[in-house]
Amino acid sequence: MNSPSLGSLIRGDPMLRSMHNVALALYILNERFQTQWKPYLDVLPTHFDTPMYLTLEQLNRLKPSAA
């Protein structure tokens, strides 16, 4: 990690140590503004259409389907 404070935050926080996806999100947010990865990170989508992000109402509409 480029940021010592971010690394110590992740190492010191039990939630961040157990939820690797949240730690990765923090790392990417930090990298987006200050590294060679900025051009790549800038072209990544900002919105995802996956069941993980559906509302309860949308999930209930899927119940009768094979999805």
Query: 28 falls in which pLDDT band (50, 70, 90)?
Result: confident
Is the pLDDT assigned to residue 1 strictly greater than 50?
no
Backbone CA torsion sign across 28, 32, 34, 37: positive
What pLDDT, on a 0 to 100 scale, did the predictor assign at position 2? 53
Residues 14-40: what's their mean pLDDT?
84
pLDDT bucket at 45, cuts 50 / 70 / 90: confident
Which amino acid type is present at position 49? D
Taking 70 as the threshold, does the pLDDT of residue 53 lie above it?
yes
